[in-house]
């Protein structure tokens, strides 16, 4: 199956992916809250069973890891992308405040993820009816898995933490039940392309460009009322003022990471990430532009690619009108879907 087919399945039905790129840690012990609160960039006002997206920053306020933190009574789960498990544990060992007896350890188990407008229905079939009513950014334990509802594709998304003894059986059940949903197996490149199309941060791509949450448009993921790793540097950057900001664009011809972006003969930025969108039928790109030009709705910019200028049109993210916006676990099912009643994937600008 091609990546385009993986993406079409993810956007219209269900896709199953391995979670090898995500590390699941558990933070527990006396003072786990205090230890984690001193490190993660978001406020930890979470009730039992709730989760929240945030960041781990380095001392220069650059993203170190893209995280979801979830409260489990007095302990926490942390789903992290970016660094290796060893690097994450080392980060916590280094930055947890002294005198607190909390530890970060890798969870015993493997992660599978299920994405798509009908992901909830497949998960319900395999893991039980309560999964279908799980709110966004919450988690729930079934007999077979810890089911985190988050997702980074713009569609319904579930990360399943499965114990080693249950992994083969759960995977087989998802594949078997998934036939009725035209389930596809999706790889990380397909997930990353969907994230790009939906304007969702990717720590393995733009997250390695040396930018802070100011330029990346991620201030909503960080607290403005507490200290944490990188907070002093972020405050200093904020006071100095960000000179550039990310903005999304579409192009009719290929553009590539590193291409310079011009307004007439003035260089105003560069392409940070790009990929062909089989859903939109054109290239989508993430640009880093001088702040005075970083706005959607402009069709005057050009990327310099392979010796020629290629027109860009900046747009607001998300770039996809996701079907998951219009599919309700209370009213719909994959079997009785009516494609003719679905709105278009791309709305007029």
Query: Cβ of residue 36: shortest distance to another protein, in angstroms?
Result: 16
Q: Is 300 in the site for another protein (CB under 8 A)?
A: yes
Quick note: the x/- pattern for another protein over 180-219, rule CB under 8 A, is -------------------x-----------------xxx
Rounded-to-integer distance, Cα 240 and Cα 248, Å: 24
Burial 198-229 (b: 16+ CB within 10 A, else e): bbbbbbebbbebebbbbbbbbeebbbeeeebb
Residues 215-254 interacting with another protein (rule: CB under 8 A): 217-220, 224, 245-246
Query: Cβ of residue 250: shortest distance to another protein, in angstroms?
Result: 14
Selected range binding another protein among 17-25, 76-84, 175-183, 341-349, rule: CB under 8 A: 341-349
| Measured CA distances, 138 to 26, 146, 169 (Å) | 16, 11, 24
Rounded-to-integer distance, Cα 33 and Cα 13, Å: 38
11, 13, 35, 53: which one binds another protein (CB under 8 A): 53
Query: Cβ of residue 27: shortest distance to another protein, in angstroms?
Result: 19
Classify residue 251 by burial, with Cβ atoms within 10 Å: 0-12, 13-18, 19+. Answer: buried
18 versus 137: smaller Cβ distance to another protein: 137
177, 263, 313, 334: which one binds another protein (CB under 8 A): 263
85 versus 318: smaller Cβ distance to another protein: 318
Q: Which residues pair with 18 in a beta bridge?
A: 112
Kindly give, in sequence order, each residue whose CB lies less than 8 Å from that of residue 331, ignoring residues fewer than 6 positions away: none
Nearest Cα to 344, choosing from 251, 252, 275, 281?
281
Per-residue DSSP letter, 258:
T
**What is residue 195's three-state secondary structure?**
helix
181 versus 201: smaller Cβ distance to another protein: 201
| Residues at the interface with another protein (CB under 8 A) | 52-53, 136-137, 199, 217-220, 224, 245-246, 263, 292-293, 295-298, 300, 316-318, 321, 325-326, 343, 347, 349
């Amino acid at each position: 199956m091609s990546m385009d087919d993986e993406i079409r399945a993810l956007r219209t039905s269900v896709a199953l992916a391995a979670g090898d790129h995500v590390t699941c840690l558990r933070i527990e012990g006396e003072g786990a809250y205090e230890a984690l609160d001193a490190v993660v960039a978001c406020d930890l006002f979470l009730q039992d069973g709730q989760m929240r997206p945030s960041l781990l920053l380095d001392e220069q306020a650059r993203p170190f890891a893209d995280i979801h933190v979830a409260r489990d009574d007095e302990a926490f789960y942390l789903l992290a992308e970016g660094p290796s498990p060893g690097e994450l544990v080392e980060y916590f060992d280094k930055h947890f405040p002294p005198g607190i007896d909390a530890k970060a350890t890798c969870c015993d188990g493997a992660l599978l993820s299920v994405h798509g407008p009908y992901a909830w229905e497949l998960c319900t079939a395999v893991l039980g009816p309560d999964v279908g009513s799980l709110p966004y950014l919450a988690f729930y334990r079934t007999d077979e898995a810890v089911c985190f509802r988050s997702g980074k594709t713009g569609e319904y998304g579930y990360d399943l933490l499965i114990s080693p003894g249950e992994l083969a059986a759960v995977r087989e059940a998802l594949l078997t039940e998934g036939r009725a949903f035209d389930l596809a197996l999706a790889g990380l490149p397909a997930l990353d392309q969907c994230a790009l199309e939906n304007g969702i941060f990717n720590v393995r791509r733009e997250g390695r460009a040396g930018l802070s949450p100011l330029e990346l448009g991620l201030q909503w993921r960080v607290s403005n009322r507490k200290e944490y790793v990188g907070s002093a540097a972020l405050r200093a950057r904020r006071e100095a003022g960000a000179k550039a900001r990310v903005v999304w664009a579409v192009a009719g011809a290929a553009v590539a990471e590193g291409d310079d972006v011009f307004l007439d003969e003035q260089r105003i930025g560069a392409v940070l990430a790009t990929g062909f969108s089989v859903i939109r039928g054109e290239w989508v790109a993430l640009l880093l532009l001088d702040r005075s030009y970083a706005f959607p709705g402009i069709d005057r910019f050009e990327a310099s690619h392979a010796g020629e200028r290629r027109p860009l049109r900046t747009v607001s993210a998300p770039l996809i009108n996701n079907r998951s916006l219009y599919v309700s676990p209370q009213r719909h099912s994959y079997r009785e879907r009516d494609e003719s009643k679905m709105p278009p994937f791309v709305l007029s600008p």
